[in-house]
Structures are given as structure tokens and as C-alpha cells.
Amino acid sequence: MRLATVLIAAAILAACGESGAQTTAVSGGPLETQPANGAAYGQKPAFPGQTRAPLQKLGVAFDVVTVASGLVDPWGLTFLPDGRMLVTEQPGRLRIVTADGKLSDPIAGTPAVYHEGQGGLLDVALSPTFATDRLVYLSYAEAGPDGTNGTASGRGRLVESGNGGRLEGFTVIYRQAPKMASRLHFGSRLVFTPKGNLFITQGERSIIPGRMQAQQMDSLLGKLVRIRPDGSIPPDNPYVGKAGVPPQIWSIGHRNIQGAAINPANGKLWTIEYGAKGGDEINEPEPGRDYGWPTITYGTEYSGAKIGEGITQKAGMEQPLYYWDPTNAPSGLAFYNANLFPAWKDSLFFGSHNPKYVGRLSINGGKITGEERIMADFGAAIRDVRVGPDGAIYLLADDPGGRILKLVPKR
């Protein structure tokens, strides 16, 4: 008994990074212990391990380094081939950021954006053939007639000059339809597949007339879409040739997808999606599948009322791989497949807005098997998570400092 006590005591000793986050290598009961909102309506997971995975800390000590600051509502980040970064600011600016934190002047030639509520300039991605075509892709909220707006995406050629540059020939390649008069639920992440097609994540605009269109096949609201880099339609999209159905649609029944990444284990897209008061989800969206919103979902309305009939399962609708209740307001998603943090290899990282932390998930056989929170006392809402070419984990902190942070091994 005494030996077991000593071993347990040794296991709970840990180093801390600048964040103060404990990095103890222990496992135990579920990380989340608060009451589930959906329990009031008898909600239960559809299968073991679908929620409340065991707390699993891997003993990783790290420092949090501020790479750059002074950004206003930073939203999306990607890396140029030389290690510099392209970063979007929600008010509509795109900047180049050097490795030592210098911000360029705003890049000219970006589209006009609707900057209200959750709208603005959102994600940024490089063309898979950027080395030869210099194309930069943006997603953003676009204003329409009579106070309406919606998610859009376009591309332009990056030409650098002086302390900045411009996007030449910016062209819209996708517009969500119909546009709605709402300040909420635009999505939107841009993810290229291994074969070069482009996923664009979206929302259903939150308001009831938009929410109900997540199940309507003649609407692009509440849909994950997939297009070619020039905006044309991949011939193997699931609804190509279906009368009255936009051929861009990949899957339906989504609420507001703000994180997406390709799983290096199988080349498939994983997404992380906002629920209401609970019901945040991780999915691996398959073509032509229905992910349920708003017919089935976990959690409740923000008021505490049932969402629809309050059901969590229905024939023909997919279950999430994993869900949270209460909510964590997730944004940004990245698989860690680098070597700088060997213990974190094959983990999945995401940012959280409320409460503010970085989440790490252990994956085994396509299932979430462990969960931990790091930087839980850092006090910043994390908007995006990326793995840099140096193997560090880069974060966009959407706080008054407007910072790019990176996690590196503790010195």
C-alpha cells in the first residue's frame, strides 16, 4: 500500500509552463464534472465514450511565447512557405507577420466585409500550388441587399511590395444562399483536401428562419460544402445532378462549424461545431449524410428550453463522434503530427472561448479516449489553432492584446 501511495504521489508532480497549466501525467474520471444541461430532459449519450472522456494529462511541460501582438480580433492564420504567417483581422484586414512578430501594413485588394457580430474577415488558406500560382483564399461575411449578409469565399494572387502588398484579381468563388439578416453563425474555415478540393464550413445564421434551413435541401445554410479551387463542382460531390439541390453540398444539418482539419491518419475532414447551451460536437462528415441540427442535438436552448422535440437520436441522422454538455464554445482545430512534442503526437487540439482554454484530445481507433485542458488560467479566448512548420503549436488569442502565441517545450 505504501509503495502504491509513493507511486501515485510521484505521478502527480509536474512542471508548469508560463500559462500555469499543470502538466501532470495522470488519468482518472471524466474531466467535465458539471451537470449536463440536457439531463433535465433525460438526454444520454448514444454510445460509451461519446462524451465526458477521462481526464488525461500527458506530463508535457511547455512555455507560452508571444510571437506578435497588436492585432484586432485575429481570426485565421496560415503559414507562408518561408515560415512567415498570413493572419486575418475580423474588421477586414489581412497582414503578413514575420517570425519575430513584425506586422505588415494591411494587404490591399481584400474584399469588403460585413463586420458586425460574428461577421468580418474570417479564415485564410494558401493554394495547394501556392509556390507557382501565389493564390491566397479568404472566407468572410459579405453584405447583401436590404440588410442581409452571408458567408462567401474568394481568392487572389499575393504580390508583395514594401511593407505589405496586394491581392491581385480577387475573385469570389463561392456565396452562401440565401443571405439572411443576421449577425451570427457564419462559420467559416477553409480546408484543402489531399486531392486539392476545398471544404468551406458554414453556419445556419442562428435565427429561426435560417436554423430551419439546415434541413432544407434547396438551401446552403447549415451545410458543409466542397468545391474545386476555382469554384467549380467536383463531379463526385454527393448531390451532383440532383434537381433543386445545390451541387456544392457535402453534408447537411450543421449549426456553426468554426474548426476543421484533415486527419493525417486517414485524410478525412474532422470538424468542431458550436452547439447551443451544450451540444458542441466533433464530427467526421461523410458525403450525403445528415448531422441532425436542429432535429437532433444534445443540450438545450440558451433559455434552458428544449430544442425542438428535445431528441438526440433519429433514424437517418448521424451521431457526433464526441460532444460536450456544458458547452466549451470551440473554435480552431488542429491535429498534432509533428516531433517537437513527442508526447502530444496524434493528439487533436482545439481552442475554447467559454471557458477560455486550449483543449487536447487523445484519439484511439477514431474515438476520443482522453481529454485535458491546458492554458486554462491564461484568460484569452482562443480563436485559431495551427501547427507551425517548426512543430510548435500556434494560437490566435482574441483578447485586447490581439496576440499570436506559440507553445514550445519548457526551457
> Is residue 21 pLDDT above 60, yes or no?
no
> Is residue 61 pLDDT above 70, yes or no?
yes
Domain of residue 188: give its range. Answer: 25-409
Inside any domain, residue 124: yes
> How much of the chain, in percent, has pLDDT values that exceed 90?
90
CB atoms within 10 A of CB 318: 18
Inside any domain, residue 186: yes
Report the residue count for the chain.
411
Q: Catalytic: which of 115, 185, 254, 353?
A: 185
> Is residue 8 pLDDT above 90, yes or no?
no
The answer to whether 127 and 113 are in contact (CB under 8 A) is no
**Alpha helix locations (H) across 290-335?**
none
In single-letter form, the type of residue at position 209 comes to P
Domains: count for the chain: 1
> Is residue 58 pLDDT above 50, yes or no?
yes
Inside any domain, residue 235: yes
Inside any domain, residue 12: no
What CATH number does residue 55 fall under?
2.120.10.30
**Does the global pTM surpass 0.75?**
yes
353 is catalytic: no
Inside any domain, residue 377: yes
pLDDT digits (tens, 9 = 90+) for 251-305: 999 999 999 999 999 999 999 999 999 999 999 999 999 999 999 999 999 999 9
Weakest-pLDDT range from 16-20, 244-248, 324-328 = 16-20
Inside any domain, residue 19: no
Q: Look at residue 109 and give its three-state secondary structure.
A: coil
Residue-wise burial string across 44-64, b where 16 or more C-beta atoms lie within 10 A, e elsewhere: ebeeeebbbbbbbbbebebeb
User: Residue 6: enclosing H or E segment and its boundaries?
Assistant: helix 2-11
Q: What is the pLDDT of residue 219?
A: 98
Inside any domain, residue 209: yes
pLDDT digits (tens, 9 = 90+) for 178-197: 999 999 999 999 999 999 99
Inside any domain, residue 15: no
> Is residue 23 pLDDT above 90, yes or no?
no
Q: How far apart are CA 331 and CA 32, in angstroms?
A: 19
Q: How far apart are CA 110 and CA 93, in angstroms?
A: 7
Rg (alpha carbons) of the chain, rounded to whole number: 21
User: Residue 2: enclosing H or E segment and its boundaries?
Assistant: helix 2-11
pLDDT digits (tens, 9 = 90+) for 328-344: 999 999 999 999 999 99
The conformation of residue 213, written as its DSSP 8-state character, comes to G
